[in-house]
Amino acid sequence: MRYVSEVYEPDPWGQLRQFQPLISDSTFTQEDFQSFTPQEKVEIRRSLQGFKRLVYENYDPDEEQQEFIEERLDYLSKAVDRLNRFDWRALAVSVVIGIGINLSVDTSTGAVLLRLLEQAFRSVRLFLT
């Protein structure tokens, strides 16, 4: 009986694998711990706005959820000024997970949320390396 109940429980490691494009298992480089350039900051903020637009279009969040999304993405946007690339990327993963939880998405819908983030950040090299 325990096996049957475990089969239907979410697999946290499986869910984490969805974020693999954002999480690198390679060794750290010097660049990972550098600050963003002024141009990268502009591109990241533009990409965050694009991500927000995509989330609104695909999930139609209610007013309370929109406020939550706005707060988290605003915090993430401001964080580019104080965090290095590595720390900011970790914060971005945390923010996206939080948005997914707030939107009450399931595992497959969470994967869509991640693809929206990748789509919004397509022009930013940050998530492609």
Single out the residue of 83, 93, 71, 88 nearest to residue 16, CA to CA.
93
pLDDT of residue 24: 52
Calpha distance 66→95 (Å, rounded):
14
Q: What percent of the chain has pLDDT over 70?
A: 73
10 exposure class (CB count in 10 Å sphere: 0-12, 13-18, 19+) = exposed
Residue 121 lies in a domain: yes
Arithmetic mean of pLDDT, 108-122:
82
pLDDT higher than 90, residue 125: no
pLDDT higher than 90, residue 104: no
Residue 30 lies in a domain: no
Please say whether the beta carbons of 38 and 100 come within 8 A.
no
Fill in the amino acid letter for 110: G
Using pLDDT thresholds of 50, 70 and 90, give the confidence band for residue 1: low
Please say whether the beta carbons of 85 and 32 come within 8 A.
yes
Residue 5 lies in a domain: no
Residue 54 lies in a domain: yes
The average confidence (pLDDT) of the chain is: 82
DSSP label at residue 32: G
State pTM to two decimals. 0.73
9-62 per-position pLDDT tens digit = 666 556 555 555 555 555 678 888 899 999 999 999 999 999 999 999 999 999
Domain range holding 67? 37-127
Q: How many domains does the chain have?
A: 1
pLDDT higher than 50, residue 129: no
pLDDT of residue 128: 43
Residue 96 lies in a domain: yes
Residue 100 lies in a domain: yes
Residue 9 lies in a domain: no
Q: How far is CA 105 from the centre of its chain?
A: 14
Arithmetic mean of pLDDT, 56-83:
96
Tokens in use for 92? 């971005």
Calpha distance 71→126 (Å, rounded):
22
pLDDT of residue 111: 77
Residues contacting 100, CB < 8 A, separation 6+:
109, 110, 113
